[in-house]
Structure 1
C-alpha cells in the first residue's frame, strides 16, 4: 500500500497518535551535525512517522495512518539531502511487510539497516480487562510485525547489515498496567538475542534499544492513563521523561559501524534506571 492510499484503522483509543496534534512537541532535532556514518546506506524504519524513528541514511518510513507526521518526517529527511520514501500500512500484516520491503529496494536500490520500532500499548489495571482481541492485536503489531519485517528483509541484508529492535524498560522492570505490552517487549528481547545468534555468522548484527518513558505521541494519545500522564517520567532517577533526540543516538550507534563488535546486546536510554540486563 502506498502513502497516497487511506487506511481506516479503528482503535479503542487515539493510538497511534499524531505528533502534529501534541501541544508540547517532542525534541527530535539532533544535537550534533551528521557525521556521515551511514553514508550511502539505506535504512527501513517502522513506526517512523514521529517519535524515536527519525534517524538514518536514505530512509524508508513505514507508518500506520499518520500521514501528516510522515510527510513532515519525509520533508526533514530530504532537507538533509537524503532520499525518503513513505509507506503506509500495518506491520502486523505479513503481506504488507513483504510489499514495503519490495518498494524500499525498488525505490532506494538496497537495504542495509532495518529498525523495528513500531508499537502500540493499551493500559489496563486489571488483567481481566485485557480482551482477547487486544492481546492478539498488541502481539500482532509489537512482535509479529518485527518477525515479519525480518523475514521480508532477510534476502536483501548482506554482510555488514544491521537490525535494531525496540524493546522497553518495561521488559526489565515489569509494568502493572501494561501486561500485554511488556510481555511483547520480553519477546522482542529474546528474539533479538536469538536472531543475533542466527545471523552473526553471516556478518549481520542484531541489537536492541530499551527506552524508558519517552515523550512521543504513544503515551498522551492513550498509551498511558490520564493519571499516569500527570507524572509521566517523574519516577526515573532523572525525574523526567526522555526526548526522542536522547534516544535516537542509541539507534544510530547500533546501526552504524561504531558498534561493529556488538551483537545480541541492548542499550538502555531510560533516565538512569538500573536494570542489569
Structure 2
C-alpha cells in the first residue's frame, strides 16, 4: 500500500467515488489512504504498553494502530464487520513485531464494549490506553429529515460506546503506570455542520465528555484528552457523501487538501505517551489550518 511522506498541494484532489454502505471499506478507496509516514521511525514512546482502539480496522484507527505498534505497543482493534480491512491492519501491526487482537462486534451494545475490554485484558494481561474512535455520519438537509432511528443510531455509535468502554476499562487503567484515554471528536463540534446536525451534536457531546471526564479522573492520575480531526481521507468519506463532494473533499481548508490518517495518528501517539504527561482535558486539532478557537 503506497505511503508518501510529502504533500504536494497541486495534486491533492481524489477522484469522484462513492460507497453504498457504512462503514466504508478502505480497500475500495482510490487513492488508498496513507496510514503511515515512512520517514517516521519509532522511538519506544509506548514500549510494551497495551492499547484498545475502536474503529481500528481502517482510516484514522488503522493509522493509530500502526503508529502505536511502531512505538512499541501491542494493540487490540475493535471493528464492526470490515474483516478484510481489520486483518490487513493486524498484518501491519504484526509486521512491526507487535501483537494485534481483533475484536469484531457492534459497539453500540454495552455487552460488546465490556467484552472488548475483558478480551483485551485476558490476551495481554493489562490495559494502558483506551482510544474511542469509531463513528458514523448521515447527512440530511433539514432536522425534519432526521428520523428517530437515525438520531438514536448516531448517538449509539458515536457517544454511547465511550461511556461503556470507559466504565469497563477504569479498573484496569487504575492499575496502569501510564494510563490514558483519548476520545475522537471532530471539527464539526466547534464550527458546526449544516448537513450533519446529529453527527455534529454527538461530536460536541464528546468534546464536553472529554473535559468533564478529565476532571473526574484527575485524582486517579488517568489523563483524558481528545482529537478533533478536520477533513481526513478515510472510508467514512466515500461512504457518506456523493461523488461530486468526495472529489472536492478537503479543498476548502487553508492547506487546500484533505489530510491523511497518519497526520492525525501523530496526535494520538503524543497524547498516549509521557511526552504529554501534563496535559488532560485538552483537544488537539489536525484540521488543515482552520481556526476554531476550541
Normalization by structure 2: what TM-score? 0.88
State how far apart, in whole Å, the 2-side matches of 1:14 and 1:125 are.
Answer: 19
Q: Does 1:197 align with 2:205?
A: no
- 2:128 match: 112
Report the alpha carbon displacement of residue 230 of structure 1 after superposing the two structures with TM.
2.6
Aligned residues: 265
What is the CA RMSD across the aligned residues, in angstroms?
1.2
SS in 2 for 1:114: strand
Which of these residues, 190, 212, 220, is aligned with residue 230 of structure 2? 212
Report the alpha carbon displacement of residue 13 of structure 1 after superposing the two structures with TM.
4.7
**1:78-117 counterparts in 2 under 5 A?**
78-117=94-133
Q: Is the 8 A contact 1:123 1:225 kept in 2?
A: no
- 1:8 match: none
Which of these residues, 74, 85, 90, is aligned with residue 69 of structure 1? 85
Which of these residues, 240, 245, 249, is aligned with residue 257 of structure 2? 240
- 1:52 match: 60
Report the alpha carbon displacement of residue 228 of structure 1 after superposing the two structures with TM.
2.2
Report the alpha carbon displacement of residue 152 of structure 1 after superposing the two structures with TM.
1.0
User: Which has the bigger relative contact order, CA under 8 A and spacing at least 6?
Assistant: 2
SS in 2 for 1:220: coil
State how far apart, in whole Å, the 1-side matches of 2:242 and 2:280 are.
Answer: 35
State how far apart, in whole Å, the 2-side matches of 1:20 and 1:13 are.
Answer: 14
Normalization by structure 1: what TM-score? 0.93
State how far apart, in whole Å, the 2-side matches of 1:276 and 1:13 are.
Answer: 35
Q: Is the 8 A contact 1:65 1:88 kept in 2?
A: yes
Q: Does 1:42 align with 2:58?
A: no
- 1:20 match: 27
In structure 2, the gaps of 5 or more residues are 1-18
In structure 1, the gaps of 5 or more residues are 1-11
The runs of 4+ residues in structure 1 deviating greater than 6 Å are none
- 1:128 match: 144
State how far apart, in whole Å, the 2-side matches of 1:178 and 1:131 are.
Answer: 13
Of 52-61 and 207-216, more deviation after overlay is shown by 52-61
Of 60-69 and 24-33, more deviation after overlay is shown by 24-33
SS in 1 for 2:181: strand
Report the alpha carbon displacement of residue 225 of structure 1 after superposing the two structures with TM.
3.3
Of 227-236 and 163-172, more deviation after overlay is shown by 227-236
State how far apart, in whole Å, the 2-side matches of 1:259 and 1:59 are.
Answer: 20
State how far apart, in whole Å, the 1-side matches of 2:155 and 2:172 are.
Answer: 25
Q: Does 1:228 align with 2:245?
A: yes
Which of these residues, 160, 169, 193, is aligned with residue 178 of structure 2? 160
